[in-house]
């Protein structure tokens, strides 16, 4: 007899790093908030759906970069929460393999309890600190590394330095991509620093966000895509970004590099 599918329940739950709130949304999905910050949205019946715009942007980048790939994708997700993006990519690329790193052990357990997530080896949830896990893995064993780890509205500092970025670079196979979700306030001080830091390590970068975010008119997210080879920038990708329910701009080349006018971050500075 087949095992029954998990059934989420709305409520507030104690987790290792604070509290998680699960709310049944009007569209039939579930919204997960961690310590008051919206973190994931999952519709149990629609793994093809992504509610958060930066996740749709990341999925579009992966789709554009690997549309003709014949071998399985190997993806490392730094930051898991409810595993909305790993679940989506595992559905979209059935032969792909995903490891999602989540620092909160109880949250990882609840995500498996609440949602019908793919099982290992398609999707493995590994409990631990994102940097420690990244530094422990063998070099050139991932095609994509996606960083979506937050403490409140910002990325933990030890995941934003040159030294950490080099650890990510070491993991990537030739032609691999690093996709970093960078949240910031309207002044964009943090995200400009992150862009400068990533550009210090990788040969090429591009940026994705809505025009208002680029102009510093609101708080939100900028997606940084980095690699040592050509980056996805096809007409199809630009069309997908423009036609999204929350249209976004793709910034490439010198414009993207120049946008990162902030301080390059190092471990020693952060410890000081």
Query: Which residue ranges of the chain lie beneath pLDDT 50?
Result: 1-2, 272
What does pTM read for this prediction?
Answer: 0.95
Q: Can you give the pLDDT at residue 1?
A: 41
Task: Show the 3-state SS of the chain.
Answer: CCCCCCCCCCEEEEECCEEEEEEECCCCCEEEEECCEEEEEECCCCCCCCCCHHHHHHHHHHHHHCCCCCCCCEEEEECCCCCHHHHHHHHHCCCCEEEEEECCHHHHHHHHHHCCCCCCCCEEEEECCHHHHHHHCCCCCEEEEEECCCECCECCHHHCCHHHHHHHHHHEEEEEEEEEEEEECCCCHHHHHHHHHHHHHCCEEEEEECHHHHCCCCCEEEEEEEECCCCCCCHHHHHHHHHCCCCCEEECHHHHHHHCCCCCCCHHHHHC
Q: Can you give the pLDDT at residue 272?
A: 47
**The architecture CATH gives domain 47-271:** 3-Layer(aba) Sandwich (3.40)
Selected catalytic residue, list 148, 210, 267, 270: 148
Active site residue 148: yes
Q: Can you give the pLDDT at residue 184?
A: 87
């Amino acid at each position: 007899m087949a095992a029954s599918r998990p059934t989420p329940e709305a409520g507030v739950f104690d987790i290792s790093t604070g509290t998680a709130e699960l709310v049944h949304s009007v569209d039939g999905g579930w919204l997960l908030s961690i310590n008051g910050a919206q973190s994931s949205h999952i519709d149990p019946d629609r793994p093809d759906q992504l509610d958060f715009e930066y996740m749709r942007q990341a999925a579009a980048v992966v789709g554009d970069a690997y549309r003709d790939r014949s071998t399985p994708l190997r993806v490392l997700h730094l930051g898991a929460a409810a595993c909305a993006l790993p679940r989506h990519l595992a559905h979209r690329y059935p032969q792909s393999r995903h490891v999602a790193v989540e620092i909160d052990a109880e949250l990882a357990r609840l995500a498996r309890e609440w949602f019908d997530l793919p099982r290992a080896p398609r999707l493995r949830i590994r409990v631990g600190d994102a940097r420690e896990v990244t530094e422990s893995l063998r070099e050139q064993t991932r095609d994509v590394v996606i960083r979506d780890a937050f403490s409140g509205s910002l990325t933990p500092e030890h995941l934003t330095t040159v030294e950490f970025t080099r650890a990510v670079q070491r993991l990537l196979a030739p032609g691999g991509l690093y996709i970093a979700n960078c949240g910031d306030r309207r002044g964009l001080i943090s995200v400009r620093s992150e862009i400068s830091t990533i550009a210090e390590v990788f040969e090429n970068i591009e940026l994705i966000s809505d025009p208002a975010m680029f102009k510093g008119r609101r708080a939100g997210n900028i997606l940084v895509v980095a690699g040592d080879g050509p980056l996805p920038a096809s007409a199809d990708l630009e069309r997908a970004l423009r036609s999204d329910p929350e249209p976004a701009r793709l910034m490439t080349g010198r414009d993207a590099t120049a946008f990162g006018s902030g301080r390059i971050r190092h471990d020693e500075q952060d410890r000081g």
